[in-house]
Amino acid sequence: MVTEMELTKEQSTGRDASGPAIGINYGGRVFCVPGAVLERLKAASKRDIIILLELLADPGAGRDELAVRADCADNPSAVDNALAFWRGAGVVTDSQETAAAPSVPKRKIKEAVASLPNYTSDDVSAIIGRDPAVGSMLDECQRILGRVFGEAENMRLVSALDYFGLTPEYMLLVCAHCADRGKKSVAAVTKKLGELFDRGISTVELLDDYLLLEENSEKLETQIRKLFGMNMTRELTDRERSMIEDWTGKYGYDIDVIRRAYNITVDTIGEPALGYANAVMRGWYESDLHTPEQIDAAIAARREGKKKKEDKSFDSDDFFRAAIERTYGSSGSAPQVDNAGDGGRNVGNRRSSGWKR
C-alpha cells in the first residue's frame, strides 16, 4: 500500500449536488486511508482514529511512539486496543502489527481467544456511549444465556466484539447457538467466536450459512450413531469422527447413502462396523458415485454381472451330464456301475464267466 507520495501543490476539487465546490489541499505529501475505515468510524473512538492516522502516516512507528503521538503515553494499552479494533475491521494486518507494535500478539488461529485485549470498565462504557446497541447486546446476551454478567464478563464480550470486528447481531446469534447446546457461559461464547474466526466466518450472512450447515451436520451425526448402534453418551474417537466427517463432508453423502453402506456392511459381515462401511463409501467416492441413484445403479450392474458370470459356470452334476450327452447322445443312458464296492474291477471277469444282470 502506498503510504506517502510527493505531489504538486494542486487542489483536488469535488462538487456536491447542492453546494459549492469543495477544495482539498493535499500539500506536499499524502497517505491512503482504506475504505474499510469508513464502515467502522461510528464505532471507533477519537483515540482509535488518531492512532490509525498516525500509523498510516508512519507505518514504522513503534508502540510507545504511537502512544505519545496519541497523547496516551500513560496508558500504552490504548494502542493495543486501537490496533485490535482496526485489526478486527480488517484494516490492520499482521505484518503491520509486527512493525508498529511488536508487543501486540499476532492473530494466530488457535490463540485468537487468548490474545483478546484487556478492556477496562471505562473502555466498555466509552464503547457503549458511542454505540448504544452494544449495551442492548449485553442485556440480551444475559437473557439468552440465563445469567447476570459480572464486569469481567462484560469486558470480555466487548473485547471480543471489537477484536474480531463483529456486530451486535453476530454476537447474539453466537450466544443463541451456544445456549441451544447447553453451553451458557461467556467462556464458551468466546471460544466459539475464536473457532468461527479460524474458519473465516466474519459476517452475519456467512454465520447464518455456517450455523445451518453445522446444525444439519450434528443431526446427521446423531442419525449415524443411532444407525450403527453406538453409545450416544460417549465422545467419538478421533478415528470415528474422521470417518464420519469424510462421509458427510468430503464425500457429501446423506443418511440415505450411509444407510445403503450400513446394509451392505451388516449383510456381509453380520454386524454394523464403521470401518467396513467406511471402506464401502470410500470405494463409491473413488468411483465417482455421489448420489443414491448412481450408487443403486452401480450395485444393480454389479449384481447383474455377477449373475451372468455364475450362469456361465457349471457345477459337478452339470459337467457330468454334459459328458454323458457327448458320449451317448442326449437320449443315451450311462452304463451301470457296480455297487459291490470293488469299483468295477471284476466287471470283466464276470462277463467272461457268463455273468448276467
* Whole-angstrom distance, CA of residue 198 vs CA of residue 205: 17
Digit-by-digit pLDDT tens for the chain (357 residues) are 444 444 444 444 444 555 567 777 666 567 778 877 776 676 677 787 888 888 888 877 887 788 888 887 777 667 777 777 677 666 776 443 333 333 333 344 345 566 677 788 888 888 888 888 999 999 999 999 999 999 999 999 998 998 888 899 999 999 999 999 899 999 999 999 988 888 888 899 999 988 888 888 889 999 999 999 999 888 889 999 899 989 988 888 999 999 999 999 999 999 999 999 999 999 999 999 999 999 999 999 988 887 777 666 555 556 555 555 655 555 555 555 454 445 444 544 444 444 444
Question: For residue 269, what is the enclosing H or E element?
Answer: helix 255-269
Handedness of CA 103, 109, 110, 112 (dihedral sign): positive
Greatest Cα pair distance, the chain, in angstroms, is 142
Burial of 91 (0-12, 13-18, 19+ CB in 10 A): buried
CATH topology for the 121-202 domain: Arc Repressor Mutant, subunit A (1.10.10)
pTM for the full model?
A: 0.48
Residues 6+ apart with CB under 8 A from 106: 94, 97, 98, 115
End-to-end CA distance of the chain: 113
DSSP assignments along 321-350, one per residue: HHHHHHHH-TT--PPP---SSSTTTTHHHH
Asked if residues 84 and 119 have their Cβ atoms less than 8 Å apart, the reply is no
DSSP H or E stretch at residue 257:
helix 255-269
Q: CA separation (Å) from 295 to 6, 244, 286?
A: 67, 19, 12
Phi, psi dihedral angles at 30 (to 5 degrees): -150, 155
The pLDDT assigned to 254 comes to: 92
Contacts of 86 (CB under 8 A, 6+ apart): 37, 40, 48, 52, 92
Q: What is the pLDDT of residue 78?
A: 73
Any idea what DSSP says for residue 203? S
Question: Residue 302 corresponds to which cell in the numbers above?
Answer: 454389479
How many other CB atoms sit within 10 Å of the CB of residue 160?
A: 24
**Per-residue cell: 69:** 503521538
Q: Which amino acid is present at 164?
A: F
Residue ranges covered by each domain of the chain: 33-101, 121-202, 214-290
Contact in structure between 196 and 174 (CB atoms under 8 Å)? yes
CA distance 226 to 221: 9
CA atoms of 138 and 171, how far apart (whole Å): 9
